[in-house]
Structure formats: C-alpha cells, structure tokens
Amino acid sequence: MAAAAGNGRFFTIGLVASWYSSNIGVLLLNKYLLSNYGFKYPIFLTMCHMTACSLLSYVAIAWMKMVPMQTVRSRVQFLKIAALSLVFCVSVVFGNISLRFLPVSFNQAIGATTPFFTAVFAYLITMKREAWLTYVTLVPVVTGVVIASGGEPSFHLFGFIMCIAATAARALKSVLQGILLSSEGEKLNSMNLLLYMAPIAVVFLLPATLIMEKNVVGITIALARDDFRIVWYLLFNSALAYFVNLTNFLVTKHTSALTLQVLGNAKGAVAVVVSILIFKNPVSVTGMLGYSLTVCGVILYSEAKKRSK
C-alpha cells in the first residue's frame, strides 16, 4: 500500500516536472526563435503549433485512446468551438508577437494579471460579482505590473500592448468557455476541445500567415538550406506546444484545481528565473519587486476565491 502511494507520488511529481519543463521550454524556445535567432514570423510559428496540436491530439485520442473521443453534437456547438478557437488564436499570436520585443521575465509578469482580466470579463459578460475581498486582492496584481513596467530596462510599448492583449484574450477564452460549453451535452474535456479547436485555428491562421507574413514558407526553406537546425527547432517547438496541453490536462486530472493554481503561480516565477539565467536580460530591483507584488496578489486572489466558494 505504501509502495503504491509512493509510486503515485513519484508519478505526480514526474507529471508536474514535465508540465513545468514543457511550459517553460516552449516559452524560451519561442523567445529564442522570434528574438535571438531572428525568425520573425509569429503567426507562422503559431500555425506550426496548431498543426502539431491537431495531429498529435488525433493520435492521442483516436489511436492511443488516452481519453474517450467526444463528438460535436450540433452546428451551434461547432460555432461555439470556432469562436473559442478564434479567441485562442489571438491570445497565442499576440503572445508570440510580444516575445519578439519583450524579455520572458517581463512577459510573465504581465501574464500574471490574467485573474484581473478574468474578473473583468466575468462581470461584463455574465454580470457575475465576486466577494469584495476578491476584488481587493486584484489591486496588488495590477499595481505590481505597473511598478514592473516602470522599472523594466527592456520596456517596449508595442510589445507591452501585444502582451496585455494576449493576456486579456486568454482570460476571455476561459470566461467564454465556461459560458459556451456549460451545458452537460456540450461539455468537452480539454483534450477533446483541443482536438476540435486546433484544426479550426489552422484555418484561421493560414490566410493570416499568407497575407501578413508573405513568402514565409520560401524564407523558411531558404533558412533551412543554410542552417537545417531551424527545421528541428520548429518541429520540436511544435511538439512541445502540444505537450504543454497534454501535461496540463494530466496534472489537472491527477491533482486538485487548487494545487494546479498554486503550481501555476510558482511556474511563472520559475520561468522568470530560468529566462534571466539563459538570456541574461537586464532586470532592475524595481522590476523584480513589482513582479513579486503581482505574484503575491495572484496568491491572495486564489485564496480569496477559494474562501468565497
């Protein structure tokens, strides 16, 4: 019995380590490709991610039977999934664009304000009010980012706007998902939702890539002739983007929602430290204080939400 519990604990630790590694890995590799390597095509990169998610989701569900396949039951449900897919595309593309201009550490600081945008959208769309204490905890979340922005040596206005937009879109998707797929007949687990969202995302991203990133395929082929590593980078990065979703699903399945929140908060801090060590981007004391305040605010927000339930 003790051995089984020990094995279960090791399995959970392994899952969390995989989730952290894939999450931080895809973030750092995106940053390296878009900023350091000079592959300035964030829409095409996102399309590669979504293509990999489409193929690997199908393999995991249809062939490996990791979860039972859930079917789309109506045209209305399909349109709801398409709407979610569009918002999801916007969040990922804008996030990737922001990585061209901002260091990962600052990107993560802004990303930590997701609870603020979630609370705003939940109120605007569903008129759902939280307890007053929950709203109070959002003050340090936003204040921390304002302080971090003022003390960020690599601040870039366009990158900052893109990152804010990506964070807002991510929050909007979670609120819309709760509304659009709330009925029992329409609920999909995250792996099945990705199976249907990813191909729709590719359909949205393909014309956007062709219009906004002209001749990107030709440029990528030319790059591959000079340095074939770009192909391996793109393939590995795309597979890792799927692995982020897979490990997120498995960690959610094997731990509680609260554990996931705590681990998510810590993950941002780990990503900041790792990115500073790898990319050696300058960080000010003011910036780190601001980010720390934001993380503390997010932890307090999680605690306030738990108590209000």
What average pLDDT is seen over the chain? 90
User: Any idea which of 36-45, 68-77, 84-93, 262-271 has the lowest mean pLDDT?
Assistant: 262-271
User: Can you give the pLDDT at residue 308?
Assistant: 77
pLDDT of 202 > 90? The answer is yes
Question: What is the longest distance spanned by two Cα atoms in the chain?
Answer: 60
Distance CA 178, CA 171 (A): 11
Residue 180: which pLDDT band, with cuts at 50, 70 and 90? confident
**Residue 159 corresponds to which amino acid?**
G
> Which among 300, 305, 291 has a CA at the least distance from the CA of 105?
291
Tell me, what's the pLDDT at 22?
A: 95
Residue 52: pLDDT band by 50, 70, 90 thresholds?
Answer: very high
Q: Classify each residue of 171-200 as buried b or exposed e, where b means 16 or more C-beta atoms within 10 Å of its C-beta.
A: bbbbbbbeebbeeeebebebbbbbbbbbbb
Instruction: Report the alpha-carbon distance of residue 17 to residue 12 in Å, rounded.
Output: 9
261, pLDDT greater than 80: no
Q: For residue range 10-50, what is the model confidence (pLDDT) as tens digits? A: 888 899 899 999 999 999 999 999 998 989 999 999 999 99
Identify whether the C-beta of residue 121 lies closer than 8 Å to the C-beta of residue 175: yes
Q: Greater confidence, 217 or 255?
A: 217
CA angle 16, 264, 236 (to 5 degrees): 60
pLDDT digits (tens, 9 = 90+) for 90-147: 999 999 999 999 999 899 989 999 999 999 999 999 888 888 888 999 999 999 999 9
pLDDT, average across residues 56-71: 95
Q: What string of H, E and C letters represents the secondary structure of the chain?
A: CHHHHHHHHHHHHHHHHHHHHHHHHHHHHHHHHHHHCCCCCHHHHHHHHHHHHHHHHHHHHHHCCCCCCCCCCCHHHHHHHHHHHHHHHHHHHHHHHHHHHCCHHHHHHHHCCHHHHHHHHHHHHHCCCCCHHHHHHHHHHHHHHHHHHHCCCCCCHHHHHHHHHHHHHHHHHHHHHHHHCCCCCCCCCHHHHHHHHHHHHHHHHHHHHHHHCCCHHHHHHHHHHHCCHHHHHHHHHHHHHHHHHHHHHHHHHHCCHHHHHHHHHHHHHHHHHHHHHHHCCCCCHHHHHHHHHHHHHHHHHHHHHHHHC
Q: Which of 31-35, 189-193, 241-245, 257-261 has the lowest mean pLDDT?
A: 257-261
For the CA atoms of 123, 125, 126, 128, the dihedral, rounded to the nearest 10 degrees, stands at: 0
Predicted pLDDT at 4: 57
